[in-house]
Amino acid sequence: MTRSPALRSDRCPSDDLSEFIYLDHAATTPLCREAADAMRQGLLLFGNPSSRHSVGQVSHEALDTARGQVAALLGCQSAEVVFTGGGSEAISLALRGTFAALRWRGHLVTTAIEHSAVLESAEALRRHGVDVTIVAPEPSGHIDPARVAAAMRPDTVLVSVMHANNETGAIQPVQDVTALVHAAGKLMHVDAVQTAGKLPIDTLDADMVSISAHKFGGPKGVGALRLATHHRVEPLVCGGGQEEGRRAGTENLPGVLGMAAAAVSAMPRLHDATYREQRCELRLRLLQQISTLDGVHVNATDPVMAETVSVSFAGVRGDTVADVLDMHGVCVSTGSACHAGQDSPSHVLTAMGVSDERARATLRFSFGPATTAADIDAAARSTVAAVHQLRRVSGHGSLLTAESAGAH
């Protein structure tokens, strides 16, 4: 397979997927056709949704309909949906907005494996005077609810735990944590950016849930925060009274309509047992084929998202393997796209106790609805060949073979 050509601007991105194997859905997903169609319609709705005249009211009605569709994905009332400029803003509004409303008083509990949007917000809160406790994960990549409970104090205001990790796919026990948090009379935020449109999130009992459209087939630059009506946050963006005073600025109507259409498109898959079984089969298929190599380590144990596979290959650099695969038309990553190009090892893997060497030897494969068994087979063949080649060049291949033989 050769390196894919640049996408043509006159085609829907999904049409071009046949030209390469895209296994980086955890970073961003192709825009689904339903979202693209909805956005085209949104571009024609030029009226301001806040205007009282008839042209503005047409836009307002479209915004209301989209809000209801996103609310259905989140399992809440339309009034609880706050549209934002993306998942990071939704997370920041949940964390910083909560403590800003309290004049930076109180205590936050979160975990060491959170997305940087959470950890950087936590650090900003610390600079404002908020006390922050970071809970370490288990070696499996999961958070123990008992550790979260032990970290809470009388002055704890908010606990923030992600639904599933963006690097390893480890599904966190957020319902158990939420029950403990609510029993203590505290607030709960769940970062569901990686799971929205992939796993059901409508049953999450958290007071706040953050999502991002481009992780489930919608456009970039638009997200949402499910904000319980009993909780008040200080807006991060001030100005007009849009979003019930919770986020100022004229709404990105084409983006919101695209997000809503992607949500509607994704929802039937969430409870489709056949679809879920197919995703699990793809994961197993990939792991079986790359495990023909020596020195392969899977970086999270069950429960994990079937769509996300984090593996380390001893004796090679993950970024080098990813570059070789890219030249052969296979798109994967070494971890979070937010830290692409950085040489520092993954903070998630480091928190799990993984060595720096193994962390730097890691690749993340992440699937989407269009991923096929043929894609997995081709990607696995290219990965095995790339690792073999790089090990031979570095001299690690013979060492691994000798170690493997000695183990037997």
Query: What number is the average pLDDT over the span 320-341?
Result: 84
pLDDT digits (tens, 9 = 90+) for 76-103: 999 999 999 999 999 999 999 999 999 9
Report whether pLDDT(57) > 60.
yes
Confidence of residue 343 (pLDDT cuts 50, 70, 90): confident
Which residue, 292, 311, 261, is CA-closest to 377? 292
What is residue 17's predicted lDDT score, i.e. its pLDDT?
53
Indicate the length of the chain as a whole number.
Answer: 408
- Note if 338 is an active site residue: yes
Report whether pLDDT(1) > 50.
no
Burial 323-354 (b: 16+ CB within 10 A, else e): ebbeebbbbbbbbbeebeeeeebbbbbebbeb
Q: 3-class DSSP state for residue 21?
A: strand
For CA atoms 3, 316, 355, 171, the dihedral sign is: positive
DSSP 171-188: BP-HHHHHHHHHHTT-EE
0.85 exceeded by the pTM?
yes
Query: What number is the average pLDDT over the span 380-403?
Result: 82
| Largest Cα span, the chain | 79
pLDDT digits (tens, 9 = 90+) for 299-327: 999 999 999 999 999 999 999 999 999 99
Q: 3-class DSSP state for residue 96?
A: helix
Residue 220 to residues 23, 30, 87, 158, Cα–Cα distance (Å): 18, 10, 10, 28
What is residue 394's predicted lDDT score, i.e. its pLDDT?
85
Which residue, 299, 303, 307, 239, is CA-closest to 276? 307
